[in-house]
Amino acid sequence: LSVTHGFLPPHPAPVAIAQVLGANDGKVLLFGFVIAIIAAYIAGPLFSKMAKKYAPAAFERKGNLSSIGEVKQFTPEESPSFGLSVLTALFPVILLAISTIYKMTVNGGVEPKNPTTIDSIVEFIGSPSIAMLISLFFAMYTMGWGRKRSTAQIMESLENAVKSIAMLLLVIGGGGAFKQVLIDGGVGKAVAQLFIGSPISPLILGWLVAVVLRIALGSATVASLTAAGIVAPLMSQAGVDPALMVLAIGAGSLAASHVNDAGFWMFREYFDLTVKQTLQTWTVLESIISVVGIVMVMGLNLLFH
């Protein structure tokens, strides 16, 4: 979930950063997928083995494990098949991948001057918003009507889902507004002027700005959107691939999650940990993903620059 938040469209944060920087969502997805797999493996199985040694108490099972609410157990008869579940979850990613592969193979990765009907259709279904909408309808069938659930039950499920993301939408809107305040106030131009001629790579600079904002503000979404607005002028001057800048900022926005981050407290409550144990596990895990992410971005920049 964490690497998805930082690297993979159609998650709202990478999509929003890509729009600010003018990056291709499909390219962000392809590069981000490579980074996400490696980062998830290092911060997951590998880090867990090390964390069990210095914070063993955090891994002791504490009954139900969840203090958020009731945990319902489903029988195999009530659950959809594994293949259908995976297909439903990955459907927006599949649509984005189809659009990206089509553009790269048929149009050479550039926008056609005179798009055909097929070009327009592929462009339409490959748009992040449309891909999510189509995937929603697909999920309503596979998880609802296809499993003999009534329309009323499906609508109730959708209503509860909208309630859970309402705060996220407000955070994204607030982050975009805060970013625009900094841009209109001249912060972006000042930072760009400060680092003109600097030997620091704009990718590393974007990562550093996002890290500082993440530590100060807590929200990864706000940090990434604000950092994108600040480093956009530098990116255009240095000729950096916008897709890699999206991933660099996404990596920085995940670093050092601590007490001012809502995700920190969700993790603590869900696994019934102390604040110290959460810092030892969740905070370190997030920082590992961030560092692995920027290292991978710099590696990809060397390969494709």
Instruction: Sort 80 into a burial class: Cβ within 10 Å, 0-12 / 13-18 / 19+.
Output: middle
* Tokens read off for 79: 């659950």
Higher-scoring residue by pLDDT: 273, 169: 273
Locate 84 and state its tokens.
């259908």
Q: pTM of the prediction?
A: 0.67
Summarize pLDDT for 138-164 with one digit per residue, the tens.
999 998 888 888 999 899 888 887 876
* Cα–Cα distance, 258 to 198 (Å, whole number): 31
Q: pLDDT tens digit string along 72-123?
A: 677 777 778 888 999 998 898 888 888 878 877 776 656 777 788 888 888 8
Provide CB contacts within 8 A for 226, sequence distance 6+: 175, 178, 179, 182, 213, 217
H runs (alpha helix) in the chain:
2-7, 12-21, 25-41, 47-54, 82-106, 117-125, 128-142, 151-184, 187-194, 202-217, 220-238, 242-252, 262-271, 275-278, 284-304
